[in-house]
């Protein structure tokens, strides 16, 4: 494995901890690539012992490390500061636009799931031991992490992993419908009049609620893209595929998987 020096930081070694299929991992790696940073990508699925240093610091994937300093890779501002590059965040869509984008893109993910025969549901994308049903579960559920943060100041990553009790697409589709209803209720009763500027606590730092909403909207969208990609790999035309307009304004990685 080649370790190259970063420009402007003599002797520094940048390590990017990731796993295939992780939306935030891919976004972090693309940021480092576009910034011209030489880094070593460490796949913790292949090298689980490499993740121990992150656990010791209380850091979840993805992460960027220089020496003994590590930051969560979802926080691109912190990554930029660590590796010594400039970071200018893009303007966020308004909360109303994000809620609309969420509804549209989550429904698209559900359409893709509904099309999947058993061989696609059990398929895995390159390099990751995770079936497409598990990916679909994230499309169905991750917005609930935002709702927990909004009401309880607790961003709960339990929604990121499918429990064993969920074993078929009907269960996932039902959960997705329930999540959409919960999001619609939140928006109607509380969200539409809230600037979402309150700072909260998450595993990647102290963002505003607006930033957490954006995170779970683009998170949902990225996994919907992966469901669409899986259908295409099996020569199944996606029902109502996502378009550039559906993705525009969201801080998504460019690639669908990696």
- Looking at 3.40.30.10, 3.40.50.1820, 3.30.470.20, 2.60.120.10, the CATH number of the domain 14-83 comes to 3.40.30.10
Angle at alpha carbon of residue 110, lines to 151 and 254, rounded to 5°: 85
**Residue range(s) occupied by CATH 3.40.30.10 in the chain:** 14-83
Q: Determine the Cα–Cα distance for residues 209 and 227; give it in Å rounded to an integer.
A: 27
Least confident of 40-54, 93-107, 109-123, 222-236: 40-54
pTM score over 0.85: yes
Q: Write the pLDDT tens digit of every residue in 156-201.
A: 889 999 999 999 999 999 999 999 999 999 999 999 999 999 999 9
Q: Which distant-in-sequence residues (6+ apart) come within 8 Å of 86 by Cβ?
A: 80
Angle at alpha carbon of residue 171, lines to 180 and 113, rounded to 5°: 75
Mean pLDDT over each residue of the chain, to the nearest integer: 91
**Residue range(s) occupied by CATH 1.20.120.450 in the chain:** 95-247
**95-247: CATH topology:** 1.20.120
Q: Write the pLDDT tens digit of every residue in 79-127.
A: 999 999 999 988 999 999 999 999 999 999 999 999 999 999 999 998 8
> What phi and psi, each to the nearest 5 degrees, are found at residue 208?
-80, 165
Q: Which distant-in-sequence residues (6+ apart) come within 8 Å of 242 by Cβ?
A: 105, 108, 221, 224, 225, 228
Q: Are 208 and 199 in contact (CB under 8 A)?
A: yes
Question: With bands split at pLDDT 50, 70 and 90, how would you rate the model's confidence at 4?
Answer: very low
């Amino acid at each position: 494995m080649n370790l190259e020096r970063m420009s402007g930081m003599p002797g520094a070694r940048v390590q990017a901890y990731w796993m295939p299929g992780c939306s935030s991992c891919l976004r972090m790696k693309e940021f480092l690539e576009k910034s011209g940073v030489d880094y070593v990508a460490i796949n913790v699925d292949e090298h689980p012992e490499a993740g121990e240093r992150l656990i010791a610091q209380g850091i979840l994937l993805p992460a960027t490390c220089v020496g003994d300093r590590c930051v969560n890779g979802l926080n691109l501002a912190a990554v930029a500061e660590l590796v010594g590059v400039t970071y200018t965040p893009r303007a966020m869509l308004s909360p109303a636009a994000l809620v609309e984008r969420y509804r549209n893109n989550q429904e698209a993910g559900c359409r893709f799931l509904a099309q999947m025969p058993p061989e696609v549901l059990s398929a895995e994308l390159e390099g990751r031991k995770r079936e497409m049903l598990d990916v679909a579960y994230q499309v169905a559920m991750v917005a609930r992490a935002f709702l927990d943060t909004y009401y309880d100041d607790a961003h709960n990553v339990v929604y990121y992993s499918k429990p064993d009790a969920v074993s078929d697409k009907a269960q996932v589709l039902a959960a997705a419908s329930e999540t959409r209803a919960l999001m619609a209720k939140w928006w109607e009763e509380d969200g539409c009049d809230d600037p979402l500027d309150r700072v909260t606590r998450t595993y990647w730092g102290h963002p505003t609620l607006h930033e957490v909403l954006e995170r779970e909207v683009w998170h949902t969208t990225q996994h919907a893209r992966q469901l669409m990609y899986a259908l295409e790999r099996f020569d199944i035309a996606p029902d109502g595929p996502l378009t550039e307009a559906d993705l525009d304004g969201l801080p998504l990685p460019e690639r669908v998987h990696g």
